[in-house]
Chain A
Amino acid sequence: MSERKPFRWHIPIFLAPAVIIYTAVMIIPLFATLDLSLYTTGDDGIHFVGLDNFRTLFGDPRWAKTFWNAFWNNVWFFLINMAVQNPIGIGLAALLSLPGLRFAALYRSAIFVPTILSFVIVGFVWKLILSPIWGIAPGMLTAIGMRHLFEPWLGQETTALITVSLISVWQFIGIPMMLIYAALLSIPEEVIEAAEVDGITGMAQFWRIKLPLILPSIGIISILTFVGNFNAFDLIYVTQGALAGPDFSTDILGTFMYRTFFGFQLQLGDPNMGATIATVMFAIILIGVCLYLFGIQRRMRRYQF
């Protein structure tokens, strides 16, 4: 009889710290939240109500109105981030990876710095820049004779959400730039040289050779943007407050959840409804990520060098 392999104890031991910490700070709270959403707190204590909270959220016209408003604002917030942040990020990365670009390291750091700043600083700084009273935005527009274009962007329903989205783009542009930059650098020289021998240079080289090779990274960036945006809260809270004004025009799922869970001013917190919203947010993100993984990621062609 051949000797059985001894149990490899080092595997669970090495895994244990990460698994324990991850379970304690992520998995248990996640299930506790899901659990919390199935209860309600009445005058006579806590009851199990099954999916009633979800019925209220989607069935009660007031809850549903607030929820869908927050949801569509969130979709819009995501679309602006996708449409502005990622193409610009890719473009910047392509420029940075050009051979012979001077001060590349300086540009790279300067563009990446906002990403490591706290939301509170970013929100506060932009609020000041755009302030009609103390801000430098009106002054700069005056200097080029375009003062009439200035509006209190953060205070108008039509512009507030776009403005906040663009602030978020400004802050996070460094992430797609760095990821794409790394992907571009990893393209082997031989591939580029072969392309040049075939007469493909300049823009054509980018579109036909480099872009297909960095598509997997673009996919990862898209999914990171999606998860980040549907979990967003901080920036709106800092610039617009928990009421996400004006008239809830910047309200996204995160701020809606915060207000419901913790309460606001005279409104008392409702942890059960808050957990319900959190669960729905989790579901939205889960569905989005699954669609991406099964719909796109698996069909993507990969190139082995």
Chain B
Amino acid sequence: MKSIPFAALLLGTALVGTSALAETTLTIESWRNDDLPIWQEKIIPAFEKAHPDIKVVFAPSAPTEYNAALNSKLDAGTAGDLITCRPYDAALALYQKGQLADLSDMKIMSNFPDVAKSAWQTDDGKHTFCVPMASVIHGFIYNKDAFKELGIEPPKTVDEFYADLDKIKADGTYIPLDMGTHDQWEAATMGYQNIGPTYWKGEEGRKALLDGTQKLTDPDWVEPFKQLAKWSNYLGDGYKAQTYPDSQNLFTLGRAAIYPSGSWEIPVFEPQVDFEMGAFPPPVQKAGDTCYISDQPDHAMGLNAASKNKDAAMTFLNWVGSADFAQLYSNALPGFFSLNSAKIELKDPLAQEFLSWRQNCKSTIRSTYQILSRGTPNLENATWAASANVMNGTQSPEDAAAELQKDLASWYKPQQK
């Protein structure tokens, strides 16, 4: 009889032994399919080196299909263990449905400033459900060689900006401003949300819009549309049918001088261009004005509440929240800036340029992302259409703003006063 408990003990230890050695496989859901090689070659090997018992698979889907695909997978119980979180309401909805776990108690959360966490918190700030990973900064990327050739300098004020554009247009070698309205997204995100904060004074205006003290029809909110209407004089031939990939290619082929965009283009553009790129922040109205930049929390990582590998997943999330990861990620993907408070050395000069604006300019986020896109009609989508209409000249800036305001006031209580 003695031998049985001993055998059981032996068996027990054997089981413990194997379970510790057995590989746990973690699957990451993401829309960042452009980053697949970087995850496979740099990020995952770095993690697996420190944690040989955990295997990580990065399984991205197409950006436009991600939200729909993820929702279906979560409902069906087939989603991966780790979920890349969209900022604000998309991830919040998943948390409210109980599909994302509450991560508020993780120690590494203290590594992030509150503003970074706010994109992945409940409205009262009590529960955080994703570990912030990166933000992107809006600005203008320009062709340094073209600027040298034409003898112009990156503009600081709006007047200088148009003076530069006039010179590029007069010369005729380059398309002055590289933007198309076909996909609508460019006009809204790289146009309206890029220069807008300069006029509505960043967070000040955005918060006022949230509490209803400012309206989209106020001059501060209409002025960016007026600027966009002016931009259309400097766009390429047939810009109305120019798509986002068209714009990217025009710039990387050296046919355009200034590309209103954001830091997320850096890892895509750098291997393609054979000229030097520079960047400048949205020009200010008068010399000496405060500059404002849109510093948009872009992605974070959360835990699938139904995951079967929670321990391993938490190990991974703890690593994602560490300074080591911040350093690794920011350099592997220049242009995606870690939200970690730790000081990070960036090797890429263009990314460094974008990041340096955080010193002098005030940061804000895209005005439509927090709360304001919860209802129907959706303010973000409506802004796409409005910005494209203004640039196409089919709607006046005032009309576009009035329509947006009407849409918003139709469901958003603070704006109904």
Chain B residue numbers with a CB within 8 Å of A263 are 67-68, 71
Q: Which residues of A contact B369 (CB under 8 A)?
A: 266
A54-86 contact mask (Cβ, 8 Å, vs B): 1 or 0: 000000001000000000000000000000000
Residues of A contacting B: mostly: loop
Q: Judge if A134 is at the interface, Cβ distance under 8 Å.
A: yes
Tell whether, in the assembled complex, residue A152 and residue B373 are in contact, meaning their CB atoms are under 8 Å apart: no
Residue B378 CB within 8 A of the other chain: yes
CA distance A127 to B376 in the complex (A): 31
**Chain B residue total in the interface (Cβ 8 A):** 41
Given contacts A154-B182, A266-B90, A269-B68, contact A246 B373 (CB under 8 A): no
User: With a CB–CB cut-off of 8 A, which chain B residues contact A265?
Assistant: 67, 185, 378, 380-381, 384
Closest CB of chain B to A29's CB: distance in Å? 15
Q: Is A176 an interface position by the 8 A CB rule? A: no
A242 at the interface (CB under 8 A from B): yes
| Number of residues of chain A lying within 8 A (CB) of chain B | 33
User: Are B378 and A267 in touch, CB under 8 angstroms?
Assistant: yes
Judging by beta carbons under 8 Å apart, are A152 and B394 in contact? no
Contact of B64 among A242, A245, A248, A267 (CB under 8 A): A242
- Separation of A264 and B180 alpha carbons in the complex (Å): 20
Q: Is B171 an interface residue (CB 8 A)?
A: no
Please indicate the chain A residues that have their CB under 8 angstroms from the CB of B241 in the complex.
130-132, 152-156
A267 touching B376, Cβ below 8 Å:
yes
Q: Which partner residue on chain B sits nearest A130 by CB separation?
A: B241
Whether a CB of chain B sits under 8 angstroms from the CB of A268 is yes
Would A152 and B410 count as touching, CB distance under 8 A? no
The residue among A156, A245, A263 with the most chain B CB atoms within 10 A of its own CB is A245
Q: Are A266 and B68 in contact (CB under 8 A)?
A: no
Q: Are B378 and A266 in contact (CB under 8 A)?
A: yes
- CB-based nearest B residue for A65: B377
Closest to A245 in B: B184
A155 and B380 contacting across the interface, CB-CB below 8 Å: no
Which residues of chain B are within 8 angstroms of A151 by Cβ–Cβ distance? 238
Q: Is B280 an interface residue (CB 8 A)?
A: no
- Whether A3 sits at the interface, judged by CB under 8 Å, is no
Measured CB to CB, the closest approach of chain A to B10, in angstroms, equals 51
Interface residues of B (CB under 8 A from A): 64, 67-68, 71, 88-90, 93, 180-185, 236-243, 246, 250, 368-369, 373, 376-378, 380-381, 384-385, 388-389, 392, 394-395, 407, 410
Given contacts A133-B250, A265-B378, 6 further A-B contacts (CB under 8 A): A62-B410, A133-B237, A138-B238, A242-B64, A245-B181, A245-B183
User: What are 9 A-B contacts with C-beta separation under 8 Å?
Assistant: A62-B377, A133-B237, A245-B184, A246-B240, A247-B395, A265-B378, A266-B88, A266-B378, A268-B93
